Amino acid sequence: MTSEAITVLGLGNLGRAVAGTFLVNGYPTTVWNRSAARAAGLAEAGASVASGVGEALSGADLVVVVLLDHLAAQEVLRGVDVRGRALVNLTSGTPEEAREMARWAAENGAEYLHGAVYAVPQTIGTAESSINYSGSSAVHERWRKSLASLGKVTYLGEDAGLASGYDVAILAGMYGLLGGFLHGAALARAGGIEVGELTPRMLSWLTDLQPALVTFAGEIDRGDFAAGESSLAMNQTGLAMLIRATEAQGVPFAALESFKELVDVQVGQGRGGESLARVVESFGVVSQRGARG
């Protein structure tokens, strides 16, 4: 019978929120951070503060890693005895980096689960937090209740890279949205419009637009772009107008030109009457679904 002792490695903004949430939920929690000062508040809240990574791992059943990036996680874990430990890594990284960590863990006698966090530090432990996991199903099953204290748990499968595979695709959407919003804010300022006045109107349209993504997803998965209610040709003209407007207002954005180039490829192949979703074909990849077995 294992205990519920948890170690958190990394006490940046997210790591402190993770460790604090385990403490609030009554888990005996040990913490370690490269810069020791960051552990002070957690020590007051009841955490045991380890002076080294080896010490932090010595009594732990579950080790939660929350470091800046893959390189930092490798640096911290290298040379440490992880035998018999369940490692849950919430550090953002590429799918291949997660698989590399999983291989390293297996070679060193540990089980590995990777997590992609959809929360900010302030929402960890609330209903607004959710974390997608992939990797060891045994770790997921054994530690599901403890992990659920951080946020909604979704387990995606045994491939440790899968959570990051979803994550990088979701982040592509997120940064497209954030970049688009900030560019819109710059255009508003250039046009003498308060960003606070723009935002509710932009949000209203973006909200109305959400069902279009579901329609596009269906078209992409079926490979059927015939509908064309939001046609490539219409959007090509719209993008050309937008690029002219941004240049005239002194705030061009290369991302718009790159997007239009992808549209141009499809229109150039005589697909102008088809759906905008066909742009996905301009990236030149075919579905990898099923390729991993």
Cα angle 160-164-166, degrees, rounded to a multiple of 5: 115
Q: Which amino acid is at 201?
A: R
Q: Which one of 4, 5, 12, 238 is in contact with ligand NAP (CB under 6 A)?
A: 12
Distance CA 94, CA 161 (A): 8
Q: Which one of 68, 171, 245, 256 is in contact with ligand NAP (CB under 6 A)?
A: 68
Residue nearest to ligand NAP (CB): 12
Q: Which one of 6, 8, 11, 88 is in contact with ligand NAP (CB under 6 A)?
A: 11
Can residue 121 be called a binding residue for ligand NAP (CB under 6 A)? yes
Can residue 91 be called a binding residue for ligand NAP (CB under 6 A)? yes
Stretch that binds ligand NAP, among 66-74, 135-143, 147-155, 280-288 (CB under 6 A): 66-74
Closer CB to ligand NAP, residue 78 or residue 222?
A: 78
Can residue 117 be called a binding residue for ligand NAP (CB under 6 A)? yes
Residue 101 and residue 136 in contact, taking contact as beta carbons nearer than 8 Å: no
Stretch that binds ligand NAP, among 68-76, 184-192, 246-254, 281-289 (CB under 6 A): 68-76
Q: In terms of DSSP bridges, do strands 86-89 and 111-118 run parallel, antiparallel, or are they unpaired? A: parallel
> What SS3 string covers 97-152?
HHHHHHHHHHHCCCEEEEEEEECCHHHCCCCCCEEEEEECHHHHHHHHHHHHCCCE
Positive or negative CA dihedral for 245, 247, 253, 258?
positive
Q: Which of 110, 115, 190 is nearest to 152 (CA)?
A: 115
Of residues 18-47, which lie at the interface with ligand NAP (CB under 6 A)?
33-35, 38
Q: Which one of 15, 115, 125, 151 is in contact with ligand NAP (CB under 6 A)?
A: 15
List interacting residues with ligand NAP (CB under 6 A).
10-15, 33-35, 38, 66-69, 72, 75-76, 90-92, 117, 120-121
